[in-house]
């Protein structure tokens, strides 16, 4: 496993961060300044198939794996309490963590997450996702080849991915991705994720997106879904889908935020929420 610890290194508890699709343990550097201001410790790790974290047979059928890895790393750090911050493509892993909650877990904040497919509840997927679902059913080797080519194409030149996103995103995200510090962190994270993993993490995540889950019952801690109203990467309709399946989720939507712009406009608010849960 590849992992990193940010912020207050000797804290007795902190935040566990689940990165997006693609991503790595470098991703939380986007909130490094806000993290220092909040006085929090934050643990991040490369989810299986990304960066330095290997995959094993069966990982694609185990959405709860990331939550168990988080628990093992929390054990290693000796934390008595932690809060979960799940971002973007880590939605299935976060939902699996709600299904079997760790008694040390103080709360879970799901930030612009792509939800899993819930059993018996159709999800409004894009045409591109429907194509990938069909490839997974009918020709898995072709999907594997595509993942390796995507990892090679964007991993060695992550600026290509950022330029591709800039053409698709709304103005708030274009401003954020045009910021040199944020762009540098995201490109370094994508490069680590894709070059190190060789596309294997993409395959694991795609499996978790399409294998249906049962909605977990309410866990014994606060859960909050936060989303940008102008998000085009994970459209707000997917937050609606998630919250209809999990009606116990608290809901917060920022009308003018996109998928990335929260880093500059709402990072402190998010970390203060997590800090309150840890203190409570």
The answer to whether the pTM exceeds 0.85 is yes
pLDDT at residue 280, as a whole number: 82
With contact defined as beta carbons under 8 Å apart, do 73 and 6 qualify? no
pLDDT tens by residue, 220-260: 999 999 999 999 999 999 999 999 999 999 999 999 999 99
- Kindly report whether the peptide bond that precedes residue 22 is cis, defined as omega within 30 degrees of 0: yes
pLDDT band of residue 139 (cuts 50, 70, 90) is: confident
Cα(244)–Cα(236) distance, integer angstroms: 13
Adjacency order of strands within the sheet including 13-18: 3-7, 41-45, 13-18, 81-87, 105-111, 223-228, 250-254
Q: Using CB atoms within 10 A of its CB, is residue 64 exposed (0-12), middle (13-18) or buried (19+)?
A: middle
pLDDT tens by residue, 24-54: 999 999 998 898 888 999 999 999 999 999 9
Where residue 167 sits, what CATH number does that domain have? 3.40.50.1820
Q: Using CB atoms within 10 A of its CB, is residue 10 exposed (0-12), middle (13-18) or buried (19+)?
A: exposed
pLDDT at residue 36, as a whole number: 86
pLDDT tens by residue, 162-209: 999 999 999 999 999 988 889 999 999 999 999 999 999 999 999 999
Tally the domains of the chain. Answer: 1
Residue 134's domain comprises 3-279
Question: Taking 90 as the threshold, does the pLDDT of residue 143 lie above it?
Answer: no
Q: What is the mean pLDDT of the chain?
A: 93
């Amino acid at each position: 496993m590849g992992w990193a610890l940010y912020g207050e290194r000797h804290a007795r508890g902190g935040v566990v961060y689940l990165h997006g699709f693609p991503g790595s343990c470098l991703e939380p550097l986007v909130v490094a300044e806000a993290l220092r201001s909040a006085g929090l410790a934050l643990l991040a790790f490369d989810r299986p198939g990304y960066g330095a974290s290997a995959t094993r047979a069966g990982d694609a059928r185990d959405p709860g794996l990331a939550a168990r890895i988080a628990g093992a790393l929390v054990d290693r750090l000796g934390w008595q309490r932690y809060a979960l911050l799940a971002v973007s493509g880590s939605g299935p892993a976060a939902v699996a963590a709600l299904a079997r909650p760790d008694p040390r877990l103080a709360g879970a904040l799901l930030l612009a997450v792509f939800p899993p497919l819930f059993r018996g509840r159709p999800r409004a997927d894009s045409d591109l996702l429907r194509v990938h679902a069909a490839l997974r059913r009918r020709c898995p080797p072709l999907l594997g080849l595509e993942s390796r080519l995507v990892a090679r194409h964007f991993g060695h030149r992550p600026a290509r991915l950022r330029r591709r996103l800039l053409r698709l995103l709304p103005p708030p995200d274009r401003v954020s991705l045009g910021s040199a510090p944020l762009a540098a962190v995201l490109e370094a994270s994508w490069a680590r994720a894709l070059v190190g993993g060789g596309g294997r993490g993409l395959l694991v995540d795609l499996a978790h997106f399409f294998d249906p889950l049962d909605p977990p019952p309410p866990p014994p801690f606060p859960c909050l879904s936060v989303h940008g109203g102008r998000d085009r990467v994970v459209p707000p309709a997917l937050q609606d889908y998630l919250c209809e399946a999990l009606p116990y989720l608290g809901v917060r939507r920022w009308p003018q935020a996109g998928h990335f712009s929260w880093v500059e406009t709402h990072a402190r608010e998010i970390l203060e929420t997590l800090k309150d849960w840890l203190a409570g």
